[in-house]
Structure 1
Amino acid sequence: MRNQTPTPTVLMLACPASGHINPMMNLALKLSHNGFQVIFVTTDFAHNRIKSIMVDPLDSNTIQFASLPDGLSPDDDRTDMAKLTVSITNTMPSMFEKLIEDIHMKGDDRIICVVADVVFGWGIQVACKMGIKGALLWTASAATLAMADNISMLMDKGVIDSNGRAITKNIQLSPTMPAMDTELFFWLNINDSETEKTLFHCFEHFSQFLDLTDWWLCNTTYELEPAVLSFIPKTLPIGPLLSNSNNNTNQNSRSLAQFYEEDFSCINWLDQQPHCSVLYVAFGSMALFDQNQFTQIALGLELTNRPFLWVVREDYNRSIRMTYPNEFQGKKGKIVAWAPQQKVLSHPAIACFVSHCGWNSSMEGLSNGVPFLCWPYFSDQHYDKHFICNDLKVGLGFDKDENGLVSSKEIKLKVDKLLNDVKIRSRSLQIKEKLMSNIAEGGGSSENLKRFVMWLKEQVF
C-alpha cells in the first residue's frame, strides 16, 4: 500500500570519483542520523562498482542508492576526464529530471532538497526548474572554490586567457589572502593540454550554478582557511567529513561507497608495529607511475629501513605490469591493494603519510595529526601540497632528479628529514586538535551543519 504521507527526502548527486563520493557519503550519513531519508545518486558505472565491493548493507530505511547512465559505452575509458565530463553534461541532466519525476510519481518520497557536488552543479539547475530547493557541496578546499568562482574576474584582469592558461605569474584574490602562483590553478594540472582546456570551460560555467543556491557547503574549517572563507563568506565549512565521525567505532567495519575492497589485515599488522614508526604510502584512486618511478619508490622504502604500509592498487598496471626490483625485499613492510584509510591514519603506529594530497586524503591526514610527504599527481593536488607544506608547514615535498624521477635517495632523505623535525609533528597535532574540535558538539563545523539541518527541516512543513 502506498504511504499516505510521502517521506521527506534529500536527493544527493555525487561525482563518480572516490575523492568526491567519500565526503558526499559521509554527509549523507550525517543527514541520515538527523532523521532524513537520503537517496544517493551517482553514475551506473560508479554505482555498480560500489555495490560489488559493499559488504555491510546500508540501512534501507534511511539511505537508498539510485544511478544514471553516464552516456559512455561499457568499454569506454572513464579515466579520460574530458570525455567523461562532456558525456555526463550532455546526457545526465535530462535523466536526472526524469528520476525526480519517477520518485514523485511513486508517491513514497517527497524530495525537499537536492544536494549536488559542485562538479555536478547542473543538478541544482534541474532542481530549481522543478521547484525543489538545492545546496552545493564542494569536496575540495575553499581556496580552489574561490579559484573556480572567480574565473571571470581572472580573465577580466588578464591573469588567465580564454582557455584558462596563466598569463601572469602570481595573483592575490583578496588583500587578506597571500599571493598565489597561477601555476597552482587546479585546471592547469591535468597533464594534458586539451583535457585542461575542456575541463576549464566546464568550470567556467560553475558560477551560474553557485548563484542558484545560498548553501555552499565545503569540506573544510574556518581555522584551516580563514582568509579564503572571509573572501567567500557564503561558503559554510562543515568539515572534516570523516567516516569515523559517524558514530562508527568498530575497527573492522567497512567504509561505505568504496571503489576498492579494503584489506583489513593491515590493521592487525599495524597493531604489531612500534608507536609512530610506520610510513603510510598511498596515492589515491587515480595516480599512476611508470616502471622506473615505481622501482624508485620500492627501493626508497627499502632504503629508509623503516616499517611501511604501501597501497598498490590492483589496477595500477593497466597497460604494463609493474614489477618489484630484485633488490626489493620488503621484509619490513606490508603491501595491500587498498586500505581502510581513515582507520589506518588514526592508528598510533603511523609516523607519516606519503600522499598524492587529494583534499579528502589531506583532511583525513590532518585530522589525525599525521605529517605529510607530498607527491601530487594532478589538478588541485598541487595546490594542496603547497598549502600543506608552505601554509600549514606540516609536510615536505619531493624534488625530482635530472631524469624527472623522485629517486630512492630523495625518498630516504625526505623521510629522515620529516621524522626528525619535532616542530612539524607538534604543528600536526595542533591542527588535529583544531579540526576535531570543529566536529565535536558545539564546534564550528558541527554548528554549521546544525544550521543546514534546521533549514532542511523547515522545508518539510
Structure 2
Amino acid sequence: MDGKGKLHVMFFPFLGQGHLIPMSDMARAFIGRGVRATIVTTPLNVPTIRGTIGKSFDSDSDSDLEIVSMKFPCVEAGLPEGCENTESIPSPDFVPLFFKATTMLQTQLEQLILQHPPHCLIASSFYPWASQSAANFNIPRFVFHGTGVFALSASECLRLYQPHNNLSSDSDPFVIPHLPGNIQMTRMMLPDYAKADGETNITRLLLAIKESEATSLGVVVNSFYELEQAYAIYYEKLQGRRAWYIGPLSLCSQNQEKGKRGKEASVDEGDILKWLDSKKANTVVYVCFGSIANFGESQLREIARGLEDSGQQFIWVVRRSDREWLPEGFERRTEGRGVIIWGWAPQVLILDHQAVGAFVTHCGWNSTLEAVSAGVVMVTWPVSAEQFYNEKFVSEVLKIGVPVGVKKWARIVGDNVASEALVKALNRLMVGEEAEARRNRAHKLAQMARTAVECNGSSFCYLTDLIQHLRSIAHLPH
C-alpha cells in the first residue's frame, strides 16, 4: 500500500494528556519494531507528542514517523478559540461541546487516510466513528481505551447487571456481580453516567463506543498481562474481542528523555534530581492529581496541612498558578523537606527516583501504571472517570495502596478530605510491617513490568503477534 513494503500504522489519540502521551509512547514502540507510524492530532497538541516521542525521533530526519495535524473545529462547536484538548476546556459545562467538536473530525481524518494510506488505524475509544472511517478504506481499526481491563470489566459488569439499582441508599455497599475478586462499591463511587436514568449525551457516546468496539479488530491495552491476568481472561470472554497487552508504554521512554514526556516541565529537572539525590531511599512522598482534577482552595489548604503534619518529606505538584490559599508560613516551615512544583512535573523521572517512597494519586490509569512500573506504593485519592475502579484494583487486588477515604465520585472538583485522613494514610504507607509488605509487593510488580517489555516478555510477544497479524492482513512479508 505504501510502496516500501513496510507496515504503516496510523495512530489517532483522543485530545487529552491521558491519551496523547501513551499513544505517542505506543507509536514509538511500533517504530522500534520496524513499523512506520503516522500520528494524527491538532496543531496545539503537536508539542505534547513531540515531547513524548523525544528528539531521537525527529520527523524531519526519521521517515518512519510523521505527525500530521488537522484543524480542530472549536469555534464551530461553540468552544473558545484554541480549546483543542481536555486541559483547555474552560469549565465542565463545555465538555459536551468538546465531544461534539470531536465528532466533526471525521471528514478530515478520512482525507488524511487518503493522503497517508496506512495498513491499520489505532484510534481512541472516544472516536467511535473511526471504525466506519477505517471500514470505508477497507483497513482494520483497533480501539485504545486509555485504561486497564480491570476498570473496563468492572464498568461493563455494572452496565450489564445493574447491581446498584435496587439499593436503599447511595452509601449501601454492593458486590460487582461476576467480576473476579469480590469487589465492593457504593452508588456514590460510580460515575454519574453509570447511574443515569434514560439517555444522555454520555450514555449515547458509551453505547456508540461499545458498538464500534464490536466492529473493530480488537483492543490494544496499555497494561501487561501478568498485572491483570484474571481480568484479561474475563474481559475477552465478556467482549468477545481479542486484546493485545503491550504496556507499560511509559517504559518505552528512553532514560534521558523521561523528563520530557508530555508538556514542558515547569521546574528545572536537574534541580529536582539534585534535591532527590540528597534524600534517603523511600523517604519522599510525591503528590500529584493529574491534568484534569481540580481542588478548591479549602481542599488545597487541607492537603498542605496534612503534608506539614505528617512530618514526611514531599514533592507536591499544584496545577494552579495563584498562591494566596497557601497556609501562612507553610513554605517557610517546610523548607528543605518539601518542594512545590507549580504546573507540569516530570512525573516518570520523579517516580523512578529511589528517594520516592509513596505517591498520593488521583488513580488515573497512566499515573497508576507509572507508579507500578517504578515500584512505588500509593495513597489513592480518586476523583472522576474510572478512577474509583482503579483505586479498588490498587488497594484490594494488587494490595499496594491505601485509600485516603474519598467516598464520592465528582466530575472535576474532588470530594473533600480532611488533613488528618492524609496523615493517617501516609503513616500506614510509610511506617511499619504492613508498609514493608506493600513495598515488597510493589517492587515485585515493577520487576514484572520491566520483564514484560523486555525481549520475549509478555508485552514484547503481544506486540510481535500484533505486528505479524497486521502484516498478514496487509499481505506483507513477515
Question: How big is the shift at 1:408?
Answer: 2.2
Instruction: Answer whether contact 2:144 2:219 (CA < 8 A) is retained.
Output: yes
Query: Residues 133-157 of structure 1: CA distance to partner in whole angstroms, max 9, x if unpaired?
Result: 2222221011232356567x62xx5
Cα distance change of structure 1 residues 308 and 175 upon mapping to structure 2, 3 Å threshold: closer
* Equivalent position of 1:126 in the other structure: 133
Q: Secondary structure at the match of 2:227?
A: coil
Structure 2 residue corresponding to 1:205, chosen from 197, 208, 224: 208
What's the TM-score, normalizing by structure 1? 0.84
Question: How big is the shift at 1:23?
Answer: 1.2
Matches within 5 A, 1:353-372: 353-372=359-378
Tell me the distance in 2 between the aligned counterparts of 1:184 and 1:431.
30
Tell me the distance in 2 between the aligned counterparts of 1:404 and 1:245.
34
* Equivalent position of 1:100 in the other structure: 113
Structure 2 residue corresponding to 1:324, chosen from 323, 326, 331: 326
Structure 1 residue 334 corresponds to structure 2 residue 345: no
* Equivalent position of 2:217 in the other structure: 214
Instruction: Answer whether contact 2:28 2:252 (CA < 8 A) is retained.
Output: no
Matches within 5 A, 1:41-440: 41-47=40-46, 56=55, 58-60=57-59, 61=62, 62-73=64-75, 74=81, 78=89, 80-89=94-103, 91-103=104-116, 110-147=117-154, 154=160, 157-159=161-163, 170=174, 172-174=176-178, 176=180, 178-181=182-185, 183=187, 187-188=191-192, 197-233=200-236, 234-246=241-253, 248-250=254-256, 254-258=259-263, 263-264=268-269, 265-313=271-319, 316=320, 322-328=324-330, 329=332, 330-331=334-335, 332-336=337-341, 337-399=343-405, 405-420=416-431, 421-440=435-454
Query: Residues 9-52 of structure 1: CA distance to partner in whole angstroms, max 9, x if unpaired?
Result: 21100011111111111110011111122111123443366569
* Equivalent position of 2:8 in the other structure: 9
Question: How big is the shift at 1:95?
Answer: 1.7
Q: Secondary structure at the match of 1:297?
A: helix
Instruction: Answer whether contact 2:17 2:291 (CA < 8 A) is retained.
Output: yes
Query: Residues 155-197 of structure 1: CA distance to partner in whole angstroms, max 9, x if unpaired?
Result: xx55578xxxx9x96464536453453638864379x989x94
What is the one-letter code of the residue matched to 2:447? E
* Equivalent position of 1:106 in the other structure: none
Q: Secondary structure at the match of 1:280?
A: strand
Tell me the distance in 2 between the aligned counterparts of 1:357 and 1:282.
10
Question: How big is the shift at 1:204?
Answer: 1.4
Instruction: Answer whether contact 1:27 1:241 (CA < 8 A) is retained.
Output: no
Deviates more, 1:295-304 or 1:345-354: 295-304
Question: How big is the shift at 1:345?
Answer: 0.9
What's the TM-score, normalizing by structure 2? 0.81
What is the one-letter code of the residue matched to 2:437? K
Cα distance change of structure 1 residues 124 and 173 upon mapping to structure 2, 3 Å threshold: farther
Tell me the distance in 2 between the aligned counterparts of 1:442 and 1:149.
32
What is the one-letter code of the residue matched to 2:115? D
Cα distance change of structure 1 residues 262 and 216 upon mapping to structure 2, 3 Å threshold: farther
Question: How big is the shift at 1:443?
Answer: 1.5
Instruction: Answer whether contact 2:147 2:221 (CA < 8 A) is retained.
Output: yes
What is the one-letter code of the residue matched to 2:118? I
Instruction: Answer whether contact 2:307 2:423 (CA < 8 A) is retained.
Output: yes
For structure 2, which runs of at least 5 residues remain unmatched after alignment? 76-80, 408-413
Tell me the distance in 2 between the aligned counterparts of 1:227 and 1:75.
43
Q: Secondary structure at the match of 2:111?
A: helix
What is the one-letter code of the residue matched to 1:46? N
For structure 1, which runs of at least 5 residues remain unmatched after alignment? 104-109
Give the root-mean-square deviation of aligned CA atoms. Answer: 3.2
Percent identity, aligned pairs only, is 23
